Amino acid sequence: MATAATDRTAAPEPAPHVLVVPYPAQGHTIPLLDLATLLASRGGVRLTVVATPATAPLLAAHGDAVGELVLPFPSHPAFPAGVESAKGLSPALFGALIVAYAGLRAPLGDWARERSGGPDRVAAILSDFFCGWTQPLAAELGVSRIAFLPSAVYGTAVLHSLFRRMPQREDGDDESPIGFPDLPGVPVAALTLLYRTYRDGDEVSEGVRRNFLWNLEASSFVSNTFRRLEERYLAAPLADLGFRRVCAIGPLAPDAADAASGRGGETAVSAADLCVWLDGFADDDGSVVYIRFGSMAVLQPPHAAALAAALERTGVPFVWAVGTTAPLPEGFEERVAATAETVAALRHRAVGWSVTHCGWNSVLEASAAGVPMLAWPMTADQFVNTRLLMEEAGAAVPVSWGGIQAAPEAEEVARVLETAAGGQCAHVAARAKELAEEAAATVSDGGASRQELDELVRELRELGSEPKE
């Protein structure tokens, strides 16, 4: 007697599970969350984002696109108890935060190993370049790690090259340039404090250096940049980045539809109210100056005083995103009544220039909006970013090179404001508009950044197709 075969449809393999590890600073966490959301929208991968109680609220703006894993912030004797992020943190503690955050390696490894034999096993790790400790973790788990660059490729290559090569610095000589294999030379004064304050044998210094050396073992880098902005540094693998491939998927900047979505937290002035005020300049497009110094920077009183005096002296209309820590001169806010904290203003036709510290997220947001920049770098990679914007992109004019240590005179700041507002830098404004067109094209369907994103999704799917030997 013949028996009919029973059709049995095998259950489909679950999508590869990618562990995403941001660094606890808004300028790092938000773009990596934006990338995770984009990856999820492409389908075929599942993502779990690691957070601590202080950074977990930032995931709310990304809905159900990604899962979350909230772990207690690790304690470390070199880092103050109760602090969980870089917001408002003294630059002197940046290195200690990198080292303290590495304490997540053990609990995260335990969590991943518990899932190693099932459908939720981790197939790959995508992590911020300040989380170099995820490289040995990935090796322990037998998976690949892709390092996320929230900064320019140029600035990131400088940082990694410094800690790999450890070039000698002449004491007291801040103007002599340090050379690099594939990059323009950089004056000592423009180097990040993480390198300038390195002390041989110091636990934090050695931990910071180890962080960057681990990154050079990653399978590849994925960068929040775009080719027309950094063509020189994306044309071929750089020796300064260990000849690793760089996938350019930016700009990961909010578009007009979600610039006011609150992805960075609540603001003191609503985007709607701000835009109503800006609408009053309809007959004078490009006359307003937008001012912002980032989520991590705390503007020093002499710098704030010089800027405030210059604004009052020139009478230039402005929006100043001061946050809650900017030391405004007494009575200034009452006299001018024009402070806010939102990036929605950048997209308004009334905004003609942006005063910025040249943190990379601010650079990308201004570039995507087509707004030329008045560059006022303070620390970290901001000096290198300013050089890129001025000498290669042609989309910025310098305000001051003094950084945190030296505030400019109010007269000098006023001169720069008047020059920009007076239309004497039209060529810079024109180049900024071109950058915006290029940024829009690269993230549209068929654009270079979207093609790189799709290639990254394919790579992640392949990494998860079978366990790595």
Active site residues: 28, 128
Three-state SS sequence of the chain: CCCCCCCCCCCCCCCCEEEEECCCCHHHHHHHHHHHHHHHHHCCCEEEEEECCCCHHHHHHHCCCCEEEECCCCCCCCCCCCCCCCCCCCHHHHHHHHHHHHHHHHHHHHHHHHCCCCCCCEEEEEEECCCCCHHHHHHHHCCEEEEEECCCHHHHHHHHHHHHHCCCCCCCCCCCEECCCCCCCEEHHHCCHHHHCCCCCCHHHHHHHHHHHHHCCCCEEEECCCHHHHHHHHCCCCHHHCCCCEEECCCCCCCCCCCCCCCCCCCCCCHHHHHHHHHCCCCCCCCEEEEECCCCCCCCHHHHHHHHHHHHHHCCCEEEECCCCCCCCCCHHHHHCCEECCCHHHHCCCEEEEEECCCHHHHHHHHHHCCCEEECCCCCCHHHHHHHHHHHHCCEEECCCCCCCCCCCHHHHHHHHHHHHCCCCHHHHHHHHHHHHHHHHHCCCCCHHHHHHHHHHHHHHHHCCCCCC
